[in-house]
Amino acid sequence: MSNAIITGASRGLGLAVARVLAEQGWRLVLDARGGADLERAARELGRVTEVVAVPGDVADAAHRRALVSAAGTRIDLIINNASTLGASPLPPLADYPLDALERVYRVNVLGPLGLIQAARPHLSANATIVNISSDAAVEGYPGWGGYGSSKAALDQLTATLGGENPNLRVYAVDPGDMRTRMHQDAFPGEDISDRPEPHTVVPVLLDLLRGDQPSGRYRLQGVAA
């Protein structure tokens, strides 16, 4: 049975991917900060496959070690999906509270890298790592400087890790705009019902996981059916 760690798995894209992997027989270790939502997701997926729910914060090194311990001795896939938007409404970068920005970097950059470092001794040959990125990593959208710069850093980490570990597939994946709570937080009070549901990009992401594409940055928007 293949073994995956998915962070931010209680809702949105993380849960959508977990549902499909569960149907395909993966054993799943799931993370989220919200314990109640995570338990609800684990109960649902536990009817399909073996699931371990580990509530906590990816910025916490002890929590990352707990995720790796729950995964066991062989890890085939890590999906670093957990992220924080940061201050909301999104402030101009010149006014961004630095303590809030530090928190964004701890969750969006150091959390994924720390999890990869902790899991490294247990990664299987040809294991896959997916770091969920954003178009804000490459575009200078006003107000998105905190979140976007953290995703740009994550992209750079991904590219470097891919170059340093040719036996692994290390992907930065930009899923495009989606109808998620984070996206709603970025546009408080606005109607975001025109954005696609997270599950619509999952088939494209799974094609990437099943394929033999080299490490690098991939954009799913416009590819999803």
Which positions are annotated as active-site residues?
A: 147
Q: Strands 169-174, 51-55: parallel, antiparallel or unpaired by DSSP?
A: unpaired
Dihedral sign (CA 61, 62, 67, 71): positive
Structural contact between residues 14 and 112, judged by C-beta atoms closer than 8 angstroms: no
109 DSSP assignment: I
Long-range contacts, stretch 187-193, CB < 8 angstroms, 24+ apart = 188/88, 188/89
Backbone angles phi, psi at 55, to 5 degrees: -70, 140
Report helix angle 202-210 to 12-23, nearest 10: 60
Q: How many CA atoms lie within 13 A of 145 on its CB side?
A: 12
